[in-house]
Amino acid sequence: MQVAIVSDSHIPDREQEIPDEFEERIADADHVIHAGDFTSTDTLAHVRELASELTAVHGNMADPDIDLPSIASVELGGVTFVVTHGTVRSMEAWYDTIAETAREHADEPRVGIGGHTHRLEDEVHDGVRVLNPGSVTGADPATDATMLTAEVADGELDVTVHEH
């Protein structure tokens, strides 16, 4: 199973569109995970149109007005992905928040996914694999548009970084 993992679109407040090559990866994926900060209902609708299946949470910008949960989980290929935006300032606290949320909402094997920092991350923190796809549009403070894809099967995942 191919999973596209994105976050921090910030359309239209900081950027105008998702890069075409990323839209193709989103459309080709079996499942899409978005970790928040769409910043408009139009952007959420666009991602929903692209995605065959979508798991998404709201971010901290205009997203609280969008009807999405703050935490969502989905089991794909034997791995439970727990998604939350992660709105803390220090990186250590961000890792703690994402890992703790994943432990509270899923048994192993589990992966915590967060956004907010616009920084690409793939680390094991306190026994939880924590992923941050960065900003799918390259919204400030990111310098490049980034996303992740993951091949998931039999409780294992292989993550690939994509930069534009």
Question: What are the chain's domains?
Answer: 2-157 (3.60.21.10)
Q: What is the pTM of this model?
A: 0.96
Helix (H, G, I), strand (E, B) or coil at 24: helix
pLDDT tens, residue order, the chain (164 aa)? 999 999 999 999 999 999 999 999 999 999 999 999 999 999 999 999 999 999 999 998 866 678 899 999 999 999 999 999 987 778 778 889 999 999 999 998 999 999 999 999 999 998 999 999 999 999 999 999 999 999 999 999 999 999 99
pLDDT tens digits, 14-28: 999 999 999 999 999
For residues 81, 147, 1, 20, the Cα torsion angle rounded to the nearest 10 degrees is 140
Task: Report the run of H or E that residue 157 belongs to, with start and end.
Answer: strand 156-163
Look at strands 120-125 and 2-6 and give their pairing. Answer: unpaired
Computed on alpha carbons and rounded to an integer, the radius of gyration of the chain in Å comes to 14
The single-letter DSSP state of residue 71 is: E
